[in-house]
């Protein structure tokens, strides 16, 4: 129980877990509503791109390339924002990064208004599906680059492979002492519950509402929990 109490006392850890939940929401929209593509999890896109390159039916390479390229563009944008805010408080940097991410998610929601979900393997992909993929992938690329700068142990907000590996390999069965167990379990549950919520919202109301919710959650959580602490200057490369 002490592990859970320690986790809850660090606002930055709580923020990262809440952001993890929005990852589940965003990927629910992309996988279920945009032709089976990820906009937060690029490992999935690389695997799907391999399937498409092998000629497996139902996998459209243009979706995965769009997601990968725009995710990278978002990461570049976040890197520029981070360096531009190297000498200001961490809170100001995180809030501005959250504004960019939320804005991109809300733009994708605006494009998605009235849009019908795209079925996996659809013969024709509408332009607005590509626009939603591009904008939401850029938002998540920006998020990942920002989270990478924060360097919070065991929390990336999007990737769970190493998290689940850590839960197992560092457990008592694995000869470990369960370090950061609470935050690891919380990260897994957050993405799981976010995916469930996104799927329910998409089924009931379409693509736009879950994207609006994800953007609002990112911004409100950052405003409420971001540390107002000075950051270490970023080393020149």
Query: What's the pLDDT at 7?
Result: 55
With the CA atoms of 57, 59, 62 and 64 taken in that order, what torsion angle do they form, in degrees rounded to the nearest 10? -160
CB-CB neighbours of 230 under 10 Å = 11
Query: What's the pLDDT at 236?
Result: 42
Query: What's the pLDDT at 233?
Result: 45
Q: Quick one: DSSP state of residue 232?
A: P
Q: Residue ranges of the domains in the chain?
A: 2-222
pLDDT along the chain (237 residues), means of 10: 58 93 97 95 96 94 97 97 87 95 98 93 90 98 94 86 88 82 92 98 97 98 82 44
Query: What's the pLDDT at 237?
Result: 37
CA distances from 219 to 28, 97, 124, 200, 210 (A): 20, 9, 34, 22, 14
Query: What's the pLDDT at 200?
Result: 98
């Amino acid at each position: 129980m002490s592990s859970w109490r320690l986790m809850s006392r660090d606002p930055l850890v709580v923020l990262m877990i809440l952001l993890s939940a929005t990852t589940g929401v965003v990927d629910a929209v992309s996988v279920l509503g945009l032709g089976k593509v990820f906009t937060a999890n690029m490992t999935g896109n690389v695997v799907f791109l391999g399937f498409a390159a092998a000629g497996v039916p139902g996998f459209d390479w243009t979706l995965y390339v769009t997601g990968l390229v725009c995710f990278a563009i978002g990461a570049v944008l976040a890197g520029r924002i981070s360096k531009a805010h190297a000498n200001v408080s961490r809170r100001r940097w995180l809030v501005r990064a959250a504004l960019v991410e939320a804005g991109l998610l809300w733009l994708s929601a605006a494009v998605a208004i009235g849009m019908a979900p795209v079925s996996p393997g659809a013969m024709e992909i509408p332009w607005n599906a590509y626009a939603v993929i591009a904008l939401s992938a850029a938002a998540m690329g920006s998020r990942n680059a920002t989270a990478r700068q924060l360097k919070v142990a065991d929390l990336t907000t999007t990737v769970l492979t190493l998290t689940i590996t850590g839960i197992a390999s560092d457990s008592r069965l694995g000869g470990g002492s369960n370090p950061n167990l609470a935050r690891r379990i919380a990260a897994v549950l957050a993405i799981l519950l976010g995916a469930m919520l996104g799927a329910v919202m998409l089924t009931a109301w379409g693509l736009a509402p879950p994207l609006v919710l994800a953007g609002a959650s990112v911004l409100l959580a950052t405003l409420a929990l971001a540390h107002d602490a000075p950051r270490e200057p970023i080393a020149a490369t």
